[in-house]
Amino acid sequence: MLDQSKTYEEMRKDFQWKFPDHYNMGWDVCDKWADVEPDRTAVIDLTSGERNDVPFLVLKNKSNQLANLLVSLDIKPTDRVGVFRTQSVWTAASHIAVWKMGAISMPLFKLFGEEALLSRLNDSAAKAIFTDIDGAVVLEALRDKLPKLEHIIVPELLAENVQSNDFEIQKTNAETPGLLIYTSGTTGAPKGALHAHRVLRGHLPGIEMCHNLLPQENDVLWTPADWAWIGGLMNVLMPALYHGVPIVASKVDKFNSELCRDVIEKGNVKNIFFPPTALRMLKAEDFKISGLRTVACGGEPLGEEMQRWGHEALGLTINEFYGQTECNMVLSSCENWFEPKLGAIGKPVPGHEVEIIDEDGKPTDQEGDIAIKRGTAVMMLEYWKNPKATQEKFRGDWLLTGDRGIREGEFIRFIGRDDDVISSSGYRIGPAEIEDCLLKHEAIASVGVIGKPDKTRTEIVKAYVILLDGYEPSEELMASLKQHVKTKLAAYEYPREIEFVDSLPMTVTGKIIRKELKLRATAELESA
């Protein structure tokens, strides 16, 4: 997508989005290579502990078999199909199969609990879902609460050669819906960001920038981030396949420096996307390594100290990038093009017009809202079945990120969020969803959830809880509340701290004032 012979300024000036009349992501990340270089390595599979190089022809055959299966099950174009799996060749094949037959894939974290799964599957009215054996057990237990879900598919259990290796790809175009990813639910229930097939190429300029003009000879990509996150799926997996760069699939049950070193060595990894929390964990374990070409980081600001550590421990400059589920990879650093500015996110990526705007929707040199102008290929089509939220996301022609920033020359510096989203270990967590979950516990009368600053995780989830009459604070109750959220929502969303209180700060209309709770939590740190 980027012309590596040009400067950043030239590329920003000359860049234009171009798509053929018929465009399909499944072809672009798979068949494009399989039909010309069938033996080219697509995935370096380390999920068994041993290395297995999977060529593009195998990925094409697997995805075609799954696409044929979906058609045989009467899945139609625009139907939603979940992918409830971790990193694996079958995970990649599942998404590709859905796109090839014109349906809409929907990634789901294996960490999701019952309520998180039910809300997304029912809201999307998914008719089928790809999963693994463990996931099938979870889903079967919820079957009576999922009236629209007709098929639970475990690809590993399918008999070989039942479905054909040949499949005629649907004639989709750049604007055809292909991907539905749910946000974290910063206000109310999570919202589904619906993306068109153009979203893949929309990501590419930013990916190429943050990996110092990917692809280069011998590049191999990996991330410990789950492929159900847009950061794993569209920042790493699919761009790697698009470029014919091998992508490493690994099991990351518990991230640490030993696992990281093992994956890098076995996979001959040269390019990594690390969430900031992963880098902080490596720093804490005194991790050092050489031989990497690039490390990219996004999800939350990295900070100057971590940049200095990156030079010392990794021998390179960590390129930061910025985006969100609705419109991703719009700001980035690129050491090959310009020196990064410590504390700043980066510069606008070619193809994306990013500005700091004021309340009137006009660019400003003061602090304001970070916003992206319509016309970029990476911008969502809409929030799924939610026109009101879609309308509220825009101010004129500008999509509002919900973050505040300030321009420093061509660089944009992130200041903070103007909502209550919690940024913890690279995950964006909506407090409303956790509050709703906790309120369903038998002991809870009221609850307020905020992000408390934390050196390792950026923030941790903290819950301020009012108990119903008849219940008393205890370590056992605290453990029960934590487990309740882990089970119902996701393991990364549970409150690491719980404080039992008699009252919560409220507005006159009965809304919790989370800002006051946040100030209270920050004061606790200052007085500690």
Q: Regarding predicted confidence, which is higher, 183 or 194?
A: 194
Cα 183 from chain centroid (whole Å): 9
User: Rounded mean pLDDT of 446-460?
Assistant: 91
| Beta-bridge partners for 84 | 131
Q: Is 308 helix (H, G, I), strand (E, B) or coil?
A: helix
Write the single-letter amino acid at 15. Answer: F
Q: Regarding predicted confidence, which is higher, 456 or 356?
A: 356
* 477-526 tens-digit pLDDT: 999 999 999 999 888 999 999 999 999 987 644 567 888 899 999 998 88
* 359-400 tens-digit pLDDT: 999 999 998 999 999 999 999 999 999 999 999 999 999 999
* 46-96 tens-digit pLDDT: 999 999 999 999 999 999 999 999 999 999 999 999 999 999 999 999 999
Cβ pair 137, 79 in contact under 8 A = no
Structural domains in the chain, sorted by start: 22-40+49-196 (3.40.50.12780), 422-527 (3.30.300.30)
* Arithmetic mean of pLDDT over the chain: 93
**Alpha-carbon span 172 to 468, nearest angstrom:** 54
Write the single-letter amino acid at 148. Answer: K
What's the confidence (pLDDT) of residue 446? Answer: 86
What's the confidence (pLDDT) of residue 411? Answer: 95
Least confident of 311-315, 437-441, 499-503: 437-441
* 7-20 tens-digit pLDDT: 999 999 999 999 99
pLDDT band, residue 161 (cuts 50/70/90): confident
Query: Is pLDDT above 70 for 44?
Result: yes
User: Rounded mean pLDDT of 460-479?
Assistant: 94
What's the confidence (pLDDT) of residue 1? Answer: 83
What's the confidence (pLDDT) of residue 228? Answer: 94
Residues above pLDDT 70, as percent of the chain: 97
Cβ pair 350, 15 in contact under 8 A = yes
Q: Regarding predicted confidence, which is higher, 116 or 175?
A: 175
Cβ pair 258, 284 in contact under 8 A = no
**Alpha-carbon span 282 to 272, nearest angstrom:** 13
What helix, strand, coil percent values describe the chain, rounded to 5? Answer: 35, 25, 40
Query: Quick one: which of 337, 334, 301, 300 has its CA closest to 317?
Result: 334
